[in-house]
Amino acid sequence: MKVFMLGWEFPPFISGGLGTACFGLTRAMDKLGTQVIFILPHPVTDATASHVALRSPATLSEEEIAEIEEGEEVEPPAGAGFRHIRFRRVAAMLEPYARPEGEPGGGEATLAVAGAAGAAARASAEVRRHAAGESPQGGGSKPGVAAGGHYSGDLFAEAERYARAAVRLARRESFDVVHAHDWMTFPAGIAVARDTGRPLVVHVHSTEFDRSGLHVNQRIYDIERAGMHAATRVIAVSHLTRTIVEHRYGVNGSKVEVVYNAIDDDTNGRPAREAAPIRSDEKIVLFMGRITMQKGPEFFLAAAKRVLEVESNVRFIMAGSGDMAKRMIELAESMGIGDRVTFTGFLRGADVHRVFQMADLYVMPSVSEPFGIAPLEALSNDVPVLISKQSGVAEILTHALKVDFWDVDEMANKIVAVLRHPPLRNTLREHGSFEIRQLSWTDSAARCLEVYTAAIAAFERR
């Protein structure tokens, strides 16, 4: 099997959630002997983009872009051990979402969804009412989700440029199937499939409804819908995402397959958990991810206030960056808990593992999370997790505490339970660690290969 794979993110060229998934999936495919040609936008150079020095397309002039050799082969990440995977880059400046002014770029920060100011203010006000013990507006209805995201002005043009370049490269290659990751590569996937007469498989890691609630960017929705309907098969990262694909995009469920993400089954570069974690005598509760409306940081702070009313010796760490970071600092201060919340900014490399070493509990209060790899990373570092029921990863984790993102009282109760009762914490840690060992990128890759085979057969029957 030979796959022409399209993606805008892959470590170390760009580092983030999708990049982590693409890395794990392709490395497992490589071990299975599958040949993959991975088409990347030009690597970026930005000190905060990853743990390595990268080149940023945003800093290139048109003359420099023109000088890039179309389809230039790129060396794979050092130590990755790829044998059957080839990486080729094209001069497209695919950067998913506009950075807020003054926000450092790269990594998960680059993925920040900038919610409309009015909607964010309303959500923060709602959280403050929760923290003050008042009833939500509308007779107990759930707090609203952020409005549509602010996307880079020329992103659509860059997606088209990427598509044209991908077609030119595809004409020089032979392959069995086209695999496109998320909406920015869907135009390229459609174009390559039509030009070469090969079946298209699109991989949905996130939808516009996850990023923007009901206030979707219509143009992005249209691209997502076109990609899903043009595809012979659609891969969704969870049943939660599959439901959105079917009901919001009108895709026939018979062609949608769920393939869960996983976590690397080795510990290379990951220190073993120390018997005495590096921390003070405070209990540590960790939020790590993009500080955006999608990730529910305001609900984390509301729960923190509730916890601190009954447990004073707790520190809440918010690791990450995003368009809501400054707003969350101000919210923590207005709640009177500013001295108990530490904002670290974006973390990478060893710092990520170090903060897990410190944590007694990891909390992911996402409003809408198609999957969520971070809880798996937490469990792999022996940290128990509390996750939103509105997440795909909740479908596969049994030994994790779960709560509705908006139920800050229940979130706080479960945080307190873990902090007060070491046996509960140890049980969650031990069983959770065992549970994730059953998750394998090799199994996910094998499922993708089955999807490819079904796509090819269905395509040939047309």
For the chain, domain boundaries:
2-96+152-262+441-461, 283-436
Distance between CA atoms of residues 52 and 180, nearest Å? 26
347 pLDDT band (50/70/90 cuts)? confident
pLDDT of residue 349: 77
- Tens of pLDDT, residue by residue over 62-116, are 554 455 455 566 666 666 667 877 777 776 767 654 443 333 333 332 222 223 2
Which CATH number applies to 2-96+152-262+441-461: 3.40.50.800, 3.90.1640.10, 3.30.465.10, 3.40.50.2000?
3.40.50.2000
Angle of the 186-196 helix axis to the 218-230 helix axis, nearest 10: 30
Distance between CA atoms of residues 399 and 175, nearest Å? 41
pLDDT of residue 73: 66
User: Which position has the higher pLDDT, 110 or 347?
Assistant: 347
24 neighbors 85 (Cβ within 8 angstroms): no
The CA R_g of the chain, rounded to the nearest whole Å, is: 22
Top-confidence range, 94-103, 120-129, 273-282, 362-371: 362-371
Closest CA to 323 of 185, 212, 407: 212
For tokens 């959105």, the residue is 244
In this predicted structure, the answer to whether residue 142 has a pLDDT above a threshold of 60 is: no
User: Which position has the higher pLDDT, 56 or 214?
Assistant: 214
User: Which position has the higher pLDDT, 289 or 76?
Assistant: 289
pLDDT of residue 122: 38
- Tens of pLDDT, residue by residue over 180-221, are 999 999 999 999 999 999 999 999 999 999 988 888 999 999
Distance between CA atoms of residues 433 and 380, nearest Å? 6
User: Which position has the higher pLDDT, 440 or 134?
Assistant: 440
- Tens of pLDDT, residue by residue over 154-184, are 788 889 989 999 999 999 999 999 999 999 9
Q: Which of 267-271, 285-289, 456-460 has the least mean pLDDT?
A: 267-271
pLDDT of residue 225: 98
Q: Which of 94-103, 328-337, 385-394 has the least mean pLDDT?
A: 94-103
- Phi-psi group of 372: left, alpha or beta (phi > 0 → left; psi -120 to 50 → alpha; rest → beta): left
pLDDT of residue 152: 46
b/e code 261-286 from CB counts within 10 Å (16+ = b): bbbbeeeeeeeeeeeeeeeeeebbbb
Q: How many CB atoms lie within 10 A of CB 454?
A: 16
Both tokens of 436, joined, read 């994730």
pLDDT of residue 158: 87
pLDDT of residue 330: 97
- Tens of pLDDT, residue by residue over 235-254, are 999 999 999 999 999 999 99
Residues 6+ away with beta carbon under 8 Å from 181: 5, 6, 7, 8, 18, 22, 203, 205
Residues facing 90 on adjacent strands: 41
Burial of 61 (0-12, 13-18, 19+ CB in 10 A): exposed
Both tokens of 330, joined, read 């101000």
- Tens of pLDDT, residue by residue over 292-301, are 889 999 999 9
Q: How many CB atoms lie within 10 A of CB 339?
A: 10
Q: Which of 131-140, 173-182, 362-371 has the least mean pLDDT?
A: 131-140
Helix (H, G, I), strand (E, B) or coil at 190: helix
Look over the chain and give the mean of its residue pLDDT values, rounded to a whole number: 80
pLDDT of residue 40: 83
Q: How many CB atoms lie within 10 A of CB 86?
A: 15
For tokens 């080729």, the residue is 88
Pairing of β 85-90 and β 72-74: antiparallel
Helix (H, G, I), strand (E, B) or coil at 93: coil
CATH of domain 283-436: 3.40.50.2000
- Tens of pLDDT, residue by residue over 403-438, are 999 999 999 999 999 999 999 999 999 999 899 988
55 neighbors 12 (Cβ within 8 angstroms): no
In this predicted structure, the answer to whether residue 268 has a pLDDT above a threshold of 50 is: no
Distance between CA atoms of residues 322 and 110, nearest Å? 8
High-pLDDT (> 90) share of the chain, %: 60
For tokens 């973390």, the residue is 347
Helix (H, G, I), strand (E, B) or coil at 177: strand
pLDDT of residue 112: 25
Intrachain domains 2-96+152-262+441-461 and 283-436 with the same fold = yes
Amino acid at 106: G
Both tokens of 228, joined, read 């899903």
